[in-house]
Amino acid sequence: MEIQLQELIRQIKKDGVEAAEMQAENILAAAKAEAEKIISDAQAKADKILHDAKCENERVVKSGEDALRQAGRNLLISFRESVTRELQAIVGEHVNAVYSSDAFAKLVVNVVESWAAKPDAEDVSALLNSSDLAKLEESVLAELKAKMLGNITLKANDNFDGGFRITVNAGAYYDYSAESVADMLSNYLSPKISALLKEAE
């Protein structure tokens, strides 16, 4: 009986230990699975944070590069506009200097003479602003008469500051005003300046 009791106790202990070991293994497996899930979730979050940070960094870098490119373009456009303004001012000063020199009367005579020489030019008029006309009328008319050009008239027109305009047969006029000549020369020179600036890019 005592042997059976001992056997029963041993069996109970054995069953209890096995059950405890099995329960411990289950708990350990569940804990291990939970730990692996926590590590996996943490790794996924870390990967997402790294990916988002990399994307944000790339966006910031690209945005910075785009801003630098735009600033460079704006600077170049501003520089070109500044050069064009300076060029127009310089050309305008030189044209005004020529138009206010003694050579101006000779220039008017030469241009009028060229237009008057055309076969269909019956009536040629030179339009000057009032102050230039007052200064040049006698000398220009005297030289034109000396060249036997009698179909020429000088007229006042204050729609422009300096220079002159030629009308032929009361039709369209040809503009040699200071502003028009300065614009024409600036437009001629601007593409050359632009080409030089493009070479410097």
- Concatenated DSSP letters of 7-31: HHHHHHHHHHHHHHHHHHHHHHHHH
Element (H, E) at 58: helix 2-99
Share of the chain above pLDDT 70, in %: 82
Angle CA 107–140–106, to nearest 5: 20
Residue range 75-94: average pLDDT? Answer: 76
pTM, full prediction:
0.47
Structural domain spans, the chain: 102-199
Q: What is the dihedral of CA 82, 87, 92, 98, to 10 degrees?
A: 160
Place of tokens 């064009």: 84
Summarised one tens digit per residue, pLDDT across range 34-77 is 888 888 888 888 888 888 888 888 888 888 888 888 887 887 77
Strand order in the sheet with 152-156: 152-156, 124-128, 163-168, 173-177
Q: What are phi and psi for residue 177, nearest 5 degrees?
A: -65, 160
The class (CATH top level) of 102-199 is: alpha beta
How far apart (Å, rounded) are the C-alpha atoms in residues 121 and 117? 7
